[in-house]
């Protein structure tokens, strides 16, 4: 069977939208904006201008967690293979994308103008590009003052947390994400997590080059090289991994574990924008302070 890849007509799209019982969400700023990228999505939500459509919203709610996604935002399916017909039905006037999805832009441009941001790229530190993206979105949607206020609040929050974490700056931190019970992904200085550590006055225990934010798979035995570090475990955690580690003699023999320096925090989008940076900073600070209190 041959499946046509042609996009439906505007009239046909609206008919399908009505037949599906879908409502058209409210405007984002002064334009009806859609996005195919999570860092853009969380930034729009943080600025109080939800898009009409975005991808993988159920996963976003589980992994990025915040900001909260309003019910009216249409879910476009997988980020890498979005539903273009459904996107057309939401009638966006502008689509925000990122360098992750340049392959989709020819089809996206058949629906609406596309503006692309680059936060994550080899050799690029992501924090300042995330600031620039927030500022650009604010200017484009006529909410420049709101965007500047959010940027200032982000910087102020990180500065305040830096002051609170001064007692913990003597030990480095290694942010990891488990692949299974024997391997992990580590986030280096070129990741958003690494950037936040620097702004909090904390050292990243992983000093090797991690082109494009992270390195994986790394064998669990690599943790013996950072015995003095706080291990920050970032979800999602594969099913059964923690149970297997609990029974691992090697894992339990690590000085980090024996001395109570394993910190398990909430899930965060590792390729997010300023909202992800702020969430990581808050969760890490709370975990470090709690660990310090527990150790007296």
Per residue in 99-146, pLDDT tens? 999 999 999 999 999 999 999 998 899 999 999 999 999 999 999 999
Residues of the chain falling short of pLDDT 50? 1-27
Angle between helices 274-294 and 38-46 (to 10 degrees): 80
Alpha carbon distance 41, 51 (integer Å): 7
Q: Would you state the pLDDT for residue 211?
A: 82
Full set of structural domains in the chain with CATH: 10-117 (3.40.50.1980), 154-294 (3.40.50.1980)
CA distance 214 to 108: 29
Burial degree of 199 (CB within 10 A; 0-12, 13-18, 19+): middle
150, 147, 149, 233: which is closest to 185 by C-alpha?
233
Global pTM reads: 0.89
Residue 184's pLDDT is what? 96
Rg (CA), the chain: 21
Q: If 0-12 CB within 10 Å is exposed, 13-18 middle and 19+ buried, where does residue 166 land?
A: exposed
Please give the backbone phi and psi of residue 69, each rounded to the nearest 5 degrees, phi first.
Answer: -95, 120
pLDDT of residue 20: 39
**pLDDT at residue 212 in the model:** 81
Per the CB < 8 A criterion, the answer to whether 69 and 51 are in contact is no
Is 268:279 a contact under the CB 8 Å cutoff? yes
Please state whether the peptide bond connecting residue 236 to the residue before it is cis, i.e. omega within 30 degrees of 0: yes
Length of the chain, in residues: 296
Query: What was the pLDDT predicted at 296?
Result: 59
What is the phi/psi pair of residue 295, to 5°?
A: -90, 0
The pLDDT of residue 295 is 73
Tell me, what's the pLDDT at 293? Answer: 78
Task: Determine if residue 125 is left, alpha or beta; phi over 0 gives left, psi from -120 to 50 gives alpha, anything else beta.
Answer: beta
CB 119 within 8 A of CB 26: no
């Amino acid at each position: 069977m041959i499946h046509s890849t042609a996009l439906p007509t505007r009239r046909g799209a609206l008919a399908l939208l009505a037949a599906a019982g879908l409502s058209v969400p409210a405007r984002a700023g002064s334009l009806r904006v859609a996005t195919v990228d999570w860092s853009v999505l969380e930034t729009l939500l943080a600025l109080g201008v939800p898009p009409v459509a975005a991808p993988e919203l159920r996963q976003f709610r589980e992994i990025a967690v915040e900001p909260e996604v309003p019910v009216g935002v249409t879910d476009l399916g997988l980020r890498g293979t979005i539903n273009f017909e459904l996107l057309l039905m939401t009638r966006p006037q502008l689509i925000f994308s990122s360098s992750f999805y340049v392959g989709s832009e020819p089809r996206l441009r058949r629906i609406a103008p596309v503006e692309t941001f680059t936060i994550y790229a080899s050799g690029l530190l992501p924090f300042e590009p995330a600031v620039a993206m927030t500022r650009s979105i604010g200017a484009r949607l006529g909410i420049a003052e709101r965007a500047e206020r959010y940027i200032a609040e982000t910087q102020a929050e990180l500065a305040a947390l830096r002051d609170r974490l001064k007692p913990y700056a003597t030990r480095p931190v290694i942010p990891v994400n488990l692949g299974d019970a024997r391997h992990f992904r580590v986030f280096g200085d070129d990741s958003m997590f690494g950037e936040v550590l620097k702004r909090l006055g904390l050292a990243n225990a992983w000093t090797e080059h991690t082109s494009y934010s992270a390195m994986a798979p790394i064998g669990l035995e690599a943790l013996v090289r950072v015995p003095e570090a706080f291990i920050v475990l970032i979800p999602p955690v594969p099913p059964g991994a923690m149970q297997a580690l609990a029974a691992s003699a090697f894992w339990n023999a690590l000085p980090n574990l024996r001395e109570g320096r394993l910190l398990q925090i909430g899930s965060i989008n590792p390729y997010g924008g300023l909202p992800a940076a702020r969430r990581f900073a808050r969760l890490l600070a709370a975990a470090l302070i709690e660990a310090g209190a527990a150790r007296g």
